[in-house]
Amino acid sequence: MAKDVIIACDMPDRESVISFLGRFEGEKPWVKIGMELFYAAGPEIVREIKARGFRIFLDLKLCDIPNTVRGAMRSLRPLGVDIINLHAFGGAEMMRAALEGLTDENGERKTKLIAVTILTSTSEEALRRELLIEKPLAETCIAYAANAQAAGLDGVVCSPLESGVIHERCGAGFLTVTPGVRFAGGERGDQVRVTTPERARALGSDYIVMGRPITGAADPVAAWRRARAEFLGGEA
């Protein structure tokens, strides 16, 4: 069920993102911090944005041996972000290790953990030819989502077009966080399969991730409000 819009702040440095978020004044949208900003500005930028009251999806897409991912999540845990992610491709043991790393001494976990299934930039052809995965892409995505759920994760990153089947397989409570969203009639950029916020709601997305249609708008706050109004319908 539609919960909120997350703004992908794909920006190169602290100054750009702080000045961008400054435009929101009293409003506190969800912010996605990805590799570009994190590697440039470090964990401090996460602390700073969090201290300003924004909710954060830290999109670092971890994938390594279980022991390393457990340690990485343990290092990231004190940042207290709301959502963090990894690649389902790393396997069930890695996903369980990540959950352990995010869990504190009292057995509590404040950060939701979601998995990237198959990157939307990977074609079915590349899956077969390069990764030697013969199954149809959609079937592989659903199987990876089911693995993530079995490992105890809270949801997946996927296309809005896959939200429905993933909810069917994993239940309505399993989160689908979906990029590839564009306003009707807007620029697509490099996104191939796009849906509008309204359609993402109809398809059952829980959170939509929108970057350039908001960050590149003449009035980003108005674009964010429009995205929320269209995605949340009467609930905005």
Show the beta-strand stretches assigned E in the chain: 4-8, 30-34, 55-62, 83-87, 112-116, 155-157, 175-178, 207-210
Q: Which of 189, 193, 222, 233 binds ligand C5P (CB under 6 A)?
A: 189
Residues 64-83 close enough to bind ligand C5P by CB under 6 A: none
Known catalytic residue at 61: yes
80, 111 contact by CB (below 8 A): yes
Q: How far is Cα 42 from Cα 122, in angstroms, rounded to an integer?
A: 28
Q: Is 197 in the site for ligand C5P (CB under 6 A)?
A: no
Q: Which of 79, 212, 225, 236 binds ligand C5P (CB under 6 A)?
A: 212
Q: CA distances (Å), 159 to each of 134, 153, 199, 204, in order? A: 21, 18, 12, 11
- Token output for 2: 């539609």
Q: Is 149 in the site for ligand C5P (CB under 6 A)?
A: no
222, 193 contact by CB (below 8 A): no
| Stretch near ligand C5P under the rule CB under 6 A, chosen from 74-82, 136-144, 147-155, 210-218 | 210-218
Kindly determine how many residues on this chain lie close enough to bind ligand C5P according to the rule CB under 6 A: 15
By beta-carbon proximity to ligand C5P, the closer residue of 29 and 34 is: 34
Q: Sign (positive/negative) of CA torsion 46, 102, 160, 1?
A: negative
Nearest-CA neighbor of 156 among 61, 54, 20, 18?
Answer: 61
Q: Which of 85, 111, 120, 163 binds ligand C5P (CB under 6 A)?
A: 120
By beta-carbon proximity to ligand C5P, the closer residue of 10 and 82 is: 10
Backbone angles phi, psi at 201, to 5 degrees: -65, -45
- Active-site hit among 28, 61, 110, 112: 61
Q: Which of 90, 155, 160, 180 binds ligand C5P (CB under 6 A)?
A: 180
Q: Is 46 in the site for ligand C5P (CB under 6 A)?
A: no
Closest contact distance (angstroms) between CB of 36 and ligand C5P is 8
Which residues form the interface with ligand C5P (CB under 6 A)? 8, 10, 34, 119-120, 157, 179-180, 189, 191, 209-213
